[in-house]
Structure 1
Amino acid sequence: MSIIGRGLLARSFDAEQIRRLGATVFASGVSNSQETDPEQFKREAALLTEALQACTGRFVYFSTCSVSDNDRTATPYAVHKLKMEALIQARGNHLILRLPQVVGVTDNPHTLINHMVTHIRTGQQLQIWSHAVRCLIDVDHIASITMHLLENGLEHDRTLDLAPPESLTLQQLLPLIEETLGQRAAYSLVDRGGGASPDSGTFSAYARLSGIDVSPGYTRRLLQKYYGAGND
């Protein structure tokens, strides 16, 4: 088996390494957390069911930390992800990693950072939820830690948050993006909250073994890597 998907997460893995381990990495399906179309969810469910039947080794699935966020847990996206988790958990020999906001090279306009960056670069007004908290993770770090877990046979049949220890409010995040782009944002504040600080235990336990810097400033470094000078 190998990698299922062609998007940001799928491209971060080495298909030959996954094949050598006899594993399947499911990195496909609904990528827009605002999705409401039932047909999109049905498509992922059908693809996942087929992949589970075909897989003979360990099965890796990427879910979302929003399933435990009171502000988003009832959304169609979060409800769907919990259903997919249940299918995989019933099979066994799996690893489910719940992710926060994933950052990498992608044209997907629905990611939080792409949305904010596009608005700032084009001068469009942003609405910033004044109490909302978000956590960002580098897609390369997802791949590195996942491969470490697979290669060493760790965390069997577990459902885990995979998130760095740094969570920021959107009011804290916005200046970091402005600093990275060298542009000021036009924005208004909305008195809303939402979001949570996911469990960073798994990330912190395995990051250093994977050569990942977990020191303070993770989010700033991440933004510079993908949106700093020379990344236009």
Structure 2
Amino acid sequence: MLAEALQRCTGRFVYFSTCSVTDEDRATTPYAVHKRRMEALIQARGNHLILRLPQVVGNTDNPHTLVNHLVAHIRAAQPLSIWSHAVRCLIDVDHIAAITLRLLDNGLELDRTLDLAPPEAVTLQQLLVLVEETLGQRATYTLVDRGGGATPDPTTFSNYASRVGIDISPGYTRRLLHKYYGADHD
């Protein structure tokens, strides 16, 4: 599918990849390996912008996203296993769109591969507390002595956030969770 899209594209090709390609814990997963292969195809073509994203949060019924998984388990009072040393960064899908459009409008030089991530990263334990606060429900969980998580470079996001009206002050993750899962969202 990607090869066909690359052949049809006559202009700049924009591809959303994952920050997990640089995460030692997840870089060898089939997903990350596939993403690196797709990046290589795009880079060989030229005239591209590859944006590596952390955990994306938005309006989706996909049960396999990290936050939807946590929310579903908390709401159903099902137990969770939380990696005690894992770190994750979350980004609003609306912010991805706004910054990507601004990057393209500003004529960012060709053939770039950039992280697009806010400056705030949280441990899974911190994320769980924020989800609990947002839902007003407690989670049942056990801690697993595991870690991992890439710490994406926030430079691009930070440089463009104020230009498109994004608040990157401390509490970004809390505000993001409230936007999509808070009481006024239901």
- TM-score (structure 2 length as normaliser): 0.98
Number of the residue aligned with 2:105: 151
Q: Within 2, Cα distance between the matches of 1:180 and 1:135?
A: 17
Q: Residue type matched to 1:89 in 2?
A: Q
Matched residues, number: 186
Three-state SS of the structure 2 residue aligned to 1:153 is coil
Between the two proteins, what is the percent identity of the paired residues?
79
Query: 1:90-145, CA deviations, whole angstroms, 9 ceiling, x for partnerless residues?
Result: 11111000000000000100000000000000000010100000000000000000
Aligned AA for 1:80? H
Could you tell me how far apart the structure 2 residues matched to 1:197 and 1:126 are?
24
In structure 2, the residue matched to 1:21 is: none
1:139–1:153 Cα change, 3 Å: same
Q: Are residues 1:138 and 2:92 paired?
A: yes
Aligned-pair distance for 1:150?
1.0
Extract structure 1 runs of 4+ deviating beyond 2 A.
Answer: none
Matches within 5 A, 1:59-74: 59-74=13-28
CA RMSD of aligned residues (A): 0.7
Q: Secondary structure at the match of 1:123?
A: coil
Q: 5+ unaligned residues in a row in structure 2: which ranges?
A: none
Which of 198, 202, 206 matches 2:156? 202
1:81 equivalenced with 2:35 (yes/no) = yes
The DSSP-based 3-state class of the residue aligned with 1:192 is strand
Contact residue 167 and residue 197 of structure 1 kept, 8 A:
yes
Higher relative contact order, structure no. (Cα contacts within 8 Å, ≥ 6 residues apart): 2
CA–CA distance in structure 2, aligned partners of residues 128 and 75 of structure 1: 19
Q: Distance in 2 between matches of 1:87 and 1:191?
A: 37
Q: Distance in 1 between matches of 2:78 and 2:23?
A: 28
Secondary structure of the 1:109 match is: coil
Indicate the SS of the match to 2:137: coil
Separation of aligned partners in 2, 1:49 and 1:120? 40
Superposed displacement of residue 210, structure 1: 1.1
Deviations 1:40-66 (A, max 9, x none): xxxxxxx11001000001110000000
Query: 2:95 and 2:27 mapped to 1: Cα distance?
Result: 25
Q: Does the CA-based 8 Å contact 1:149-1:155 persist in structure 2?
A: no
Give the TM-score normalised by structure 1: 0.79
Aligned partners of 1:60 and 1:82: how far apart in 2? Answer: 15
The answer for the alignment partner of 1:112 in structure 2 is 66
Matched, 1:98 2:52: yes
| 1:123 aligned to which of 61, 77, 80 | 77
